[in-house]
Structure 1
């Protein structure tokens, strides 16, 4: 029997036992100090403060400072209709016996101009219909007494924006007097078609873009930016998440939403530590840190993205407080190692199980 036990132990040592992932010592072996490429950092108050960098959403000053456009402003491509009345029997434009002239379907060219007989090439884009009316009236007044002019937009919505993504009604919408701001335009599109807590709104303007949480759009007036012609508004569901692995109540990918989630909450969200397996001294937060944050944590300048394995020891007097202060970020991996005795239990169980099987075989053979 002793020979069988020794053989079983040798076999287990050679092949290894099933487990949920690397042990604490195996992770430590990958530290920079031991020739690896990961910074193994125990979390203390300094580390918790330095690492609590969270990329924030928001609009740049260029977006925030843009003024609202005139809802009735004429744009290139618009089609206008002009009516001109002259206070003479034989006017410049009117036919004999008529005092008015109708000029329909005058399209504003790509440069923003229209041509009006006797008034010449007139800048239309950037003016409201009433401003254009006054310009044409002034020019015609030099050739016919007291002309009366009206200007109307026949076709074309003037300034428009595109609304796409997770909204009730996608489409191209005009910037009208009630829809000059981002929140009003989203309402015009029927609102978002997903839970507001996970909705992210992106506005693309030329070569720039900015994004904001939908909830922050309504809670902060400065995020309710004025829209500009050609803006693209995209509503998406936030994809930020962290991954939970190891000796936890569950192993899964967990969405972050727009909440600030700390280490304790992250563990609780997957069912907490597995009381039969977990080592509370071996809670690791694995992430790639940008150079700016890594320099603050290490207290020395570094260049390039650094791999970090933050260690949370929940058995320390303030371990739970530090875990509560340590924020989880997008693409983090929360990994909990198994307690050392677990492997011993598995080894002993495998050996005793092997011995029982051997005894059964021996009894059968006898």
Structure 2
């Protein structure tokens, strides 16, 4: 009878300890599936929990597209010898008379060696007046001056050359092998040629973005699109600033994964399956493959389509569920695209928490036995 009583007492004690440990909470990596589902709108929560299927994948498969506006694409190619404000020109003017407008007594040529282009882009030439120089080539300026002098002196001959100044230049910074200021020359009048002239990229081409800032306007493009879509290989302009950077998008991995941190995108279009692999996969001794969740703030338009409701207003909290144990689970995960700011969370398998409970009970029982032995001695 005493043995039976002892066994019953021990069973009651184990149950009591189990309840106590469950109540006080054991260490874990985050919420379990039941707790996540409890936060859904169906359970009076504020999030929509959606199982991923082919329809959901089709609606949410939004790729980040970049590209230059028509203003950038339609800009004409400028010459390598285009004059800019601040340049200094050298002008030589020959007159076909002994006593010309500009030449001194006994000379038929006049040299204006330092004619600077002002901030508005103009120069002043005696008897020709104010000439628009910036944006023109030396040849175009020569023709303008010749036409203006032709009415005042017979058959004038004009030669124009840049005496000082860099002409049209661009600035290249960021993930590029050779940062610096580069002149726009005949071989480097377009974006791809200028990038190559600067030494090429210092980042993986698959995740490289190229941004061009022109005055108050800017545009960005994926580096690969410069070659896939020639229209994005835009002509450059004086003063353009070119920034090359890696894809700034990130997602957060938490739970029973191989790594928990903020992860940068390694490919332009990143699937859930690739995102899991990127952090080392699922933890084989703790992860629940039926509980792979993606937390996302979804825009109103997409949320309406996913949920099949037209009464949704504003951005919605959606929790997408992937079950990798389903026959097509891996295919669905392969086709589900991760977006910037997503949180990828993998729950622990139920038996993991049970193991922790048993381990805690075993540890408590062992400690109690040791204390009992010490007391009896």
Taking structure 2 as the reference length, what is the TM-score of the superposition?
0.91
Q: Which runs of 5+ in 1 are unaligned?
A: none
Distance 2:36 2:271 in 1: 22
The answer to whether 1:343 aligns with 2:353 is yes
CA contact (8 A) 2:207 2:268 kept: no
Q: Which residue of 2 aligns with 1:79?
A: 88
Q: Which residue of 1 aligns with 2:338?
A: 328
The answer to whether 1:121 aligns with 2:130 is yes
Cα 1:96/1:174, change in 2 over 3 Å = same
The answer to whether 1:284 aligns with 2:288 is no
CA contact (8 A) 2:169 2:239 kept: yes
CA contact (8 A) 2:191 2:236 kept: yes
CA positional deviation for 1:176: 1.7
SS of the equivalent of 1:80 reads: strand
Distance 1:89 1:118 in 2: 17
CA contact (8 A) 2:190 2:235 kept: yes
CA positional deviation for 1:10: 4.2
SS of the equivalent of 1:348 reads: helix
SS of the equivalent of 2:355 reads: helix
Q: Which residue of 1 aligns with 2:142?
A: 133
Q: Please, which of 68, 75, 83 is the counterpart of residue 77 of structure 2?
A: 68
SS of the equivalent of 1:76 reads: coil
CA contact (8 A) 1:83 1:150 kept: yes
After superposition, residues 123-202 of structure 1 pair within 5 angstroms as 123-202=132-211
Greater CA deviation, 281-290 or 248-257? Answer: 248-257
Greater CA deviation, 121-130 or 40-49? Answer: 121-130
Cα 1:147/1:156, change in 2 over 3 Å = same
Greater CA deviation, 64-73 or 43-52? Answer: 64-73
CA contact (8 A) 1:203 1:234 kept: yes
CA contact (8 A) 1:240 1:257 kept: no
CA positional deviation for 1:11: 3.1
Distance 2:309 2:239 in 1: 46
CA positional deviation for 1:279: 1.6
SS of the equivalent of 1:97 reads: coil
SS of the equivalent of 2:273 reads: helix
After superposition, residues 178-257 of structure 1 pair within 5 angstroms as 178-257=187-266
Cα 1:235/1:26, change in 2 over 3 Å = same
Distance 2:347 2:263 in 1: 19
SS of the equivalent of 2:284 reads: coil
Q: Which residue of 2 aligns with 1:298?
A: 307
Q: CA RMSD in A?
A: 1.9
SS of the equivalent of 1:209 reads: strand
Distance 1:269 1:191 in 2: 27
Q: Which runs of 5+ in 2 are unaligned?
A: 1-8
Q: Which residue of 2 aligns with 1:36?
A: 45
Greater CA deviation, 141-150 or 152-161? Answer: 152-161
SS of the equivalent of 1:63 reads: helix
Distance 2:18 2:167 in 1: 81
Q: How many residues align?
A: 366
After superposition, residues 42-61 of structure 1 pair within 5 angstroms as 42-61=51-70
SS of the equivalent of 1:70 reads: coil
Taking structure 1 as the reference length, what is the TM-score of the superposition?
0.93
* Regions of 4+ moved over 4 Å: none
Distance 1:269 1:132 in 2: 59
Cα 1:204/1:251, change in 2 over 3 Å = same
SS of the equivalent of 2:345 reads: strand
SS of the equivalent of 2:224 reads: helix
